[in-house]
A and B are shown apart, each in its own frame.
Chain A
């Protein structure tokens, strides 16, 4: 049976832990709300862009849409680049290890044909993959809690340049997609070559003939890099929302667990205290009897 003093010390330490986890939880909750709003605010642009790209791919007519632009062109894959978006900081429950495992299964799988390289965004991915023999094409960290388009543009710049120069033949993007506050899923999407979305089938009947200025090719030339930028930006925004949600949930669980533990310890403490009093009483009574 631990002494009352020992129990008191443990109670104090658990209380302090609960205070910290609670504070982190509150901060994450408020950041989460803002991160979610930002992810939502970016959606109309991404959707319009997807629609525009679908129309453009259609406007190519019977010509194979792959031949319209180098960024659409599918090549034999000899070198793959993976952009991995992770948080900078921990205390986010299983989110980070899930991401690392997911990316690891892509990068380190033995049946991976050809070369592979990475562009880690966020410190957790960077630290993890520094231990393996994987070349980095660039690395980014400290994008902040609310990254803007200007922060994410250099990421897409690197892979677009490398793709155009032929240094890589395929680029994938791995990030934590935000399903709900309690669920985030590691997701892989193919960034390059761009897979042109298909125009909505509902509109297939009422097809609109667009005029393109200066020309479909010129518009495509401007649109595709922005489309890639947008996808990276959205992935970063979703990752930020996922990070804060995962942290909030993890810290709430930790706070709850600490409070449970506090209840148990308090009970133990009271028992120990009572026992001590009882034994002191017995001592006194025994002493009195001995004197009588």
Chain B
């Protein structure tokens, strides 16, 4: 059966290029969408959320802060504003970002409310993606995640 090729590209680098992928689940701006092989050509904007990549070897999570997704002939291209691998999310820093956004929202000074709320929402999703990964790891038998 045909498989998908996935590219995750940010303005600063090509984050990932992988073949033999079974399914990509992306946070589309009108709702989460799953993409299977043989999908019709599609372009959609993305909102902040988690991008899940499923393949025979297991599943990977990425945090995407927004961007676009293009599907064409079994090639999925994600143009992300910024993207992070779930396992690489620094939970402490994400937590700090959340606190910063919250205090800014509480603060008196005239802040750009929409921006601060956006920042808060993004930091919450980032935390969620980061935590899910951590748990997934803890489930594994000791010593199973050695080779990387």
Contact = CB atoms under 8 A, between A and B. Distances in A.
Nearest to A211: B42
B10 A222 contact: no
A219 B45 CA distance: 6
B interface, how many residues as a size bin? 20 to 34
Interface in A19-71: 38, 41-42, 44-45, 48-49, 52, 55-56
Interface in B90-125: none
Contact of A213 (B7, B12, B43): B43
Contacts, number: 74
A219 B79 contact: no
B42 A210 contact: yes
Contacts of A44: 7, 9, 14
B22 interface: no
Given A211-B40, A213-B44, A52 B70 contact: yes
Contacts of B7: 44
B28 interface: yes
A37 to B, nearest CB: 10
A210 B28 CA distance: 16
B29 to A, nearest CB: 6
Interface residues of A, number: 27
A48 B79 contact: yes
Given A214-B29, A223-B68, A48 B9 contact: yes
Contact of A210 (B9, B12, B43, B79): B43
A226 interface: yes
B31 to A, nearest CB: 9
B11 A149 contact: yes
B72 A208 contact: yes
B77 A230 contact: no
B12 A38 contact: yes
B12 A49 contact: no
A218 interface: yes
B72 A222 contact: no
B119 to A, nearest CB: 13
Interface string A196-232: 0000000000001111111000110011001001100
B34 interface: no
Interface of A: 38, 41-42, 44-45, 48-49, 52, 55-56, 148-149, 208-214, 218-219, 222-223, 226, 229-230, 233
